[in-house]
Structure 1
């Protein structure tokens, strides 16, 4: 019996992780197919900078929905790969902005052309499916924005525990001897 059939919806995080790993592995192979030397985890940061507007790590993190520390780590890796560079913010000298290098700009032009192929492949997959995954993910994100799984589990646990409480009449045998 399949693990996810046995566990059901309670293993949604694990099942999504498996799907993410599959997509990430394919993404790495697709970059190789096109000769684009980037890592899949760099894509959101890289794509964010393709508009050629220098951005701070904070702005990028907010734009792509990742944490500041995660984006900082990716920025360091991408700097080592010479895809991006730091520039001073002319409006605020305390702030450092990130922008694509010339090499990064040339890769972005190649990548954007190839993304059309990826988009068509994703559309093919979507057309083969009964449900719209993209819309379902958006629905889940909205629902989780209203109330997290943790909050929901806490409420359910509390309701269950309260329903298990039984009030009984006092009897002398319940008296503790001190």
Structure 2
């Protein structure tokens, strides 16, 4: 049994971060092996834009549950690489709308087969055992519970 497994819930966050980092490193290794200049960190914005022609930065931040500032920073990085462009909303000129550039659309076509393979690989992984079959549901339920009461508040309750 590994150190992380022995310590149980005290290392919950560390274990999730380790799994996430390993996952993202593997996905990025696939992009690199296939000479696709894409970073897994860009996936949420690329995926959202693949589903809708354009989105406001506010829509992106809301959907991803990140700050407007964090969404803007990611958008700026993608814009610097020439993958997306921003323009003013036709109805509200103060609102910035994000869409793919031709270069971004070309990159999207390159990454979509990787996403399809990733989908199949993850489905395969989640069928490995009875426990992993329920992992996505358990993650969703944990996210919902944390929205209702944060870890901070739960710890504070036990310190009183």
State TM-score, norm by structure 1.
Answer: 0.82
Does the 8 A contact of 1:52 with 1:100 survive in 2?
A: no
- Residue 164 (structure 1) aligns with: none
Q: Following the alignment from structure 2 to structure 1, what is the Cα–Cα distance between the partners of residues 128 and 69?
A: 38
Does the 8 A contact of 1:45 with 1:60 survive in 2?
A: yes
- Aligned-partner SS, 1:128: coil
- Residue 45 (structure 2) aligns with: 45
Report how far residue 138 of structure 1 moved.
Answer: 0.5
Aligned residue pair count: 158
Change (3 A) 1:111 1:9: same
Q: Following the alignment from structure 2 to structure 1, what is the Cα–Cα distance between the partners of residues 137 and 34?
A: 29
- Residue 140 (structure 1) aligns with: 142
Q: Following the alignment from structure 2 to structure 1, what is the Cα–Cα distance between the partners of residues 2 and 154?
A: 27
Unaligned 5+ runs, structure 1: 159-178
Measured against aligned partners, the alpha-carbon deviations of 1:34-75 in whole angstroms (never above 9, x if no partner) come to 332121111101111113422121110111222222111111
Does the 8 A contact of 1:84 with 1:99 survive in 2?
A: yes
- Residue 60 (structure 2) aligns with: 60
When Rg is computed on C-alpha atoms for both structures, the one with the higher figure is 1
Does the 8 A contact of 1:53 with 1:99 survive in 2?
A: yes
- Aligned-partner SS, 2:130: coil
- The 5-angstrom pairing of residues 1-178 of structure 1 reads 2-131=2-131, 132-158=134-160
Q: Following the alignment from structure 1 to structure 2, what is the Cα–Cα distance between the partners of residues 155 and 84?
A: 45
Q: Following the alignment from structure 1 to structure 2, what is the Cα–Cα distance between the partners of residues 3 and 78?
A: 39
Unaligned 5+ runs, structure 2: none
Does the 8 A contact of 1:34 with 1:114 survive in 2?
A: no
